[in-house]
Amino acid sequence: MFNTLLKGLCSEDRIHEALTMALDKMPKLACTPNVFSYNIIIDGLCKVGAVNKAFILLEQILSVGLAPDVITYNSLIKGLCITGEIRRAEEMLQHMRSRGHDPNAVTYNTLINGLCKNGEIEKAEELLHDMFSRGLQPNVITYNTLVDGFCKKGLLDKAVEMLQCMISKGIEPDVVTYSTAMDALCKEGETKKAMVLLRVMKSRGKDPNVHTYSILINGLCKMNKLEDAKKLLNEMDSKGILPNTVLCSIIVDALCKRGEAYEAQKLLYQMFHKGVTPNLITYNSIINGYSKLGCWKDTIRVFKDMIDQGFQPNEVTYGSMMNAMWENGQNKEAEKLLDLMVRRGIKPDVVSYRILLLGYANDGKIDDVVNILDRMQLDHVAPDYFANTAMIKAFAKNRKVDDAMCLLKRMKQEGAKPDLSAYSQILKLQMGRFDDAKDLNAT
């Protein structure tokens, strides 16, 4: 009964109460804690990172004549791995052997996981071979940990080799194994290989889940293979697998980046009717998509819809809206939106200011440009390379060569260099001035 109570307390992270019960209340009730009681508390302490306290309790176990078992040592090794003390965990493995306790699969899996998280994949693989030599059979968790470790180190060939090894040993990879390998392949742009792995997965009777599809669709979208991504989305639909919000946002963003904002919003409404709730990222993608297409009315419509759905705009939303206003020649309205952004406690970033700078500079409104630069200085936001270069071009285009030269000088002082086209614009103006002076002298 007491051990059940100890388990309950530890599961709720009430470790101090569990200790009080085991060391104080139980003895008073003539109920001496046994090794199982101590194991429960040691495991609880290790899970919350209190490994040193767990070792003090181990000393107490020994002092009362109780013998720790493999479960005790497994908990301690896990605790050391959680706190990143891998060397001590390895020493504990040797210590338990020296005391006549044979490590089991849990011991090895715990240490292999700790080594992989520490980036020591080679040592983790050595432990796998050690398991074989001691007659222990690794399980799917062992292999999944190693596959993930190789993937995170960028050793994709070794990860695939490990996957093939587990199959040859009669251990069937699960959806986690396949998804981990596919994720690594997609991150390296190897979407073809990831799709081959999907076919292998299906042929072995393993059904992909929403996480698997998300990995593949995200990888395909990044490679601009939207048609293939749509096919997988349709496959999900045919299998009754509902996309989640993240997956919906991935496809919406990819469509918008390809200039298909209308198609993206259509997909959004379809997902909404199926019970998938869009998030702020989804709306920002569509607003940005319409903004880049110059579809001012659609941008406003989606912005209002987003507000109606209870989402609060962030700096990305405001940046996209300001860009749409700039494209529509509404620079003053864009500046008002910047003011609204500030009133709502959102600090404008360099992108927001860049939009206003470019708008006013292209219109030749130098006083407004100076005002925005002053605001930026007060907010401790420096114009970036793109803003400076574009302003030089805009000044030059509007024959404001002195302003362009002044900005060019400041950029050089700050260690930045505009591109060659900006220099070319200024040079043309300077040459124009020289020609005008020659004409004046000739009269």
Read off the pLDDT of residues 154-172 as tens digits, 9 standing for 90 and up.
Answer: 899 999 899 988 989 899 9
Q: Which residue type is seen at 274?
A: K
Cβ atoms within 10 Å, residue 278 = 21
Residue 405 reports pLDDT greater than 50: yes
What rounded mean pLDDT belongs to the chain? Answer: 84
**Predicted pLDDT at 366:** 74
Read off the pLDDT of residues 119-165 as tens digits, 9 standing for 90 and up.
Answer: 999 999 999 999 999 999 999 999 999 999 999 998 999 998 999 88
Read off the pLDDT of residues 64-107 as tens digits, 9 standing for 90 and up.
Answer: 888 889 999 999 999 999 999 999 999 999 999 998 889 999 99
436: pLDDT confidence band, cut at 50, 70 and 90? very low
> Which 8-state DSSP code applies to residue 311?
P
> Which 8-state DSSP code applies to residue 313?
P
More confident residue, 354 or 199: 199
Residue 443 reports pLDDT greater than 60: no
User: In angstroms, how far is CA 10 from the centroid of its own chain?
Assistant: 32
376: pLDDT confidence band, cut at 50, 70 and 90? confident
| C-alpha–C-alpha distance, residues 409 and 416, integer Å | 10
Angle between helices 350-362 and 315-327 (to 10 degrees): 10
Read off the pLDDT of residues 312-339 as tens digits, 9 standing for 90 and up.
Answer: 998 889 888 888 888 788 888 888 888 8
- Which residues, in sequence order, are CB contacts of 413 under 8 Å at separation 6+? none
User: In angstroms, how far is CA 336 from the centroid of its own chain?
Assistant: 33
| C-alpha–C-alpha distance, residues 392 and 378, integer Å | 22
Cβ atoms within 10 Å, residue 33 = 22
Strands (E) in 279-401, as ranges, are none
Under 8 Å between Cβ of 359 and 334: yes
Both structure tokens of 287: 């607003």
Residue given tokens 């086209």 in the structure block: 421
438: pLDDT confidence band, cut at 50, 70 and 90? very low
**Predicted pLDDT at 142:** 94
pTM of the model: 0.75
Angle between helices 420-442 and 385-397 (to 10 degrees): 20
What DSSP letter does each residue of 315-335 carry, written as one string?
A: HHHHHHHHHHHHHTT-HHHHH
More confident residue, 349 or 6: 349
Of the candidates 94, 88, 101, the one whose C-alpha atom is nearest the C-alpha of residue 39 is 101
| Maximum average pLDDT range among 6-10, 187-191, 357-361 | 187-191
Per-residue pLDDT averaged across 244-270, rounded? 90
Q: Which residue type is seen at 4?
A: T
Of the candidates 210, 216, 156, the one whose C-alpha atom is nearest the C-alpha of residue 192 is 216
Cβ atoms within 10 Å, residue 234 = 10
| C-alpha–C-alpha distance, residues 112 and 42, integer Å | 21
